[in-house]
Chains A and B, each alone.
Chain A
Amino acid sequence: MSRIAPKLLLATALFAGGAAVRAADLYIICNSQISLDQAGVRELFLGEKQFVGALKLVPVDNSAAQSLFLGRVLNMSAERYSVAWVKKSFRDGINPPGVVGSDAEALASVRRIPGACSYVTTPPATGVAVIGRL
Chain B
Amino acid sequence: MRTTRYAPTTCARAWLSLALATSLGLTPTAHAAEDDKARITELEQKLDESLKMIRELSNKVEALEAREAQRTSAAGAAAAGTAAAAGTAAAAATASAAVPPGPANPTPTAPVGAATPGAPPVVGPPAPADTGARLTHLEETVSQMANAPQRAEDRGMAMHGFADVGAGTHNAQFPKYQGADIAELDFFLTPQLGARTRALFELNFEVGADGEVGVDLERAQIGYQFSDSATIWLGRFHTPYGYYNTAFHHGQWIAISLRRTRFLEFEDHGGTMPAHTVGLWLTGSQRLGEQRLTYDAWIGNSQRITGGTIDMNNAGVTAGSTMFGGNIGLLMSGVLDGLKVGLDAFQTRIENQDVAPSQFTQVQSYGAYVVYDTDRWEDIAEWHFFDNTDLTGHTGTHHSDAGFVQIGYRGGRFTPYGRYERGSFNQSDPYFAAQTSGNSYDREALGVRFDIDLSSALKMEFAETRYTDRYLTRYGEALLQYAIRF
In the bound complex, what is the Cα–Cα distance between A93 and B223 (angstroms)?
A: 9
B19 cross-chain contacts in A, Cβ below 8 A: 102, 104
B269 lies within 8 A of chain A by Cβ: no
A82 lies within 8 A of chain B by Cβ: yes
A134 lies within 8 A of chain B by Cβ: no
Instruction: Select the residue from A10, A14, A89, A90 with max chain B CB neighbours within 10 A.
Output: A90
Proximity string of chain B (287-325) to chain A, C-beta cutoff 8 Å, 1 when within and 0 when not: 100101000000000000000000000000000000000
Q: Is the CB of B190 within 8 A of A94?
A: yes
Q: How many residues of B contact A (CB 8 A)?
A: 60
Given the contacts A86-B485, A90-B249, A99 and B150 also touching, CB distance less than 8 Å: yes
Q: Is the CB of B290 within 8 A of A91?
A: no
Given the contacts A48-B285, A89-B190, A109-B143, A16 and B152 also touching, CB distance less than 8 Å: no
Q: Is the CB of B228 within 8 A of A101?
A: no
Proximity string of chain A (29-40) to chain B, C-beta cutoff 8 Å, 1 when within and 0 when not: 000000000010
A101 cross-chain contacts in B, Cβ below 8 A: 23, 27, 146-147
Given the contacts A48-B292, A89-B160, A93-B200, A13 and B228 also touching, CB distance less than 8 Å: no
Q: Is the CB of B140 within 8 A of A112?
A: yes
B169 lies within 8 A of chain A by Cβ: no
A89 cross-chain contacts in B, Cβ below 8 A: 158, 160, 188, 190
B212 lies within 8 A of chain A by Cβ: no
Partner of A107, one of B139, B200, B375: B139
Given the contacts A64-B27, A87-B254, A101-B147, A95 and B140 also touching, CB distance less than 8 Å: no
Q: How many residues of A contact B (CB 8 A)?
A: 59
Q: Is the CB of B147 within 8 A of A67?
A: no
A63 cross-chain contacts in B, Cβ below 8 A: 27, 30
B333 cross-chain contacts in A, Cβ below 8 A: 39
Proximity string of chain A (4-17) to chain B, C-beta cutoff 8 Å, 1 when within and 0 when not: 00110010011011
Q: Is the CB of B22 within 8 A of A20?
A: yes
Cβ of A83 to closest chain B Cβ, rounded Å = 8
Instruction: For A48, give the chain B residue with the smallest CB separation.
Output: B285
Instruction: For B16, give the chain A residue with the smallest CB separation.
Output: A104
A97 cross-chain contacts in B, Cβ below 8 A: 152
Partner of B290, one of A39, A77, A104, A108: A39
Instruction: Select the residue from A21, A94, A101, A125 with max chain B CB neighbours within 10 A.
Output: A101
B221 lies within 8 A of chain A by Cβ: yes
A98 cross-chain contacts in B, Cβ below 8 A: 150-153, 155
User: What is A's interface to B at a CB cutoff of 8 Å?
Assistant: 6-7, 10, 13-14, 16-18, 20-21, 39, 43, 48-51, 56, 58, 60, 63-67, 75-80, 82-83, 86-87, 89-95, 97-105, 107-109, 111-113, 116, 125, 127
Query: 23 A–B contact pairs at CB < 8 A?
Result: A6-B47, A18-B32, A20-B22, A39-B287, A48-B292, A49-B228, A50-B225, A51-B227, A56-B196, A58-B152, A63-B27, A63-B30, A76-B375, A95-B190, A101-B27, A101-B147, A102-B27, A104-B19, A104-B143, A105-B142, A105-B143, A111-B140, A112-B153
Additional 11 contacts, C-beta under 8 A, given A66-B30, A67-B29, A92-B200: A10-B40, A13-B21, A39-B290, A56-B196, A58-B153, A86-B485, A89-B160, A95-B192, A100-B143, A102-B146, A105-B143
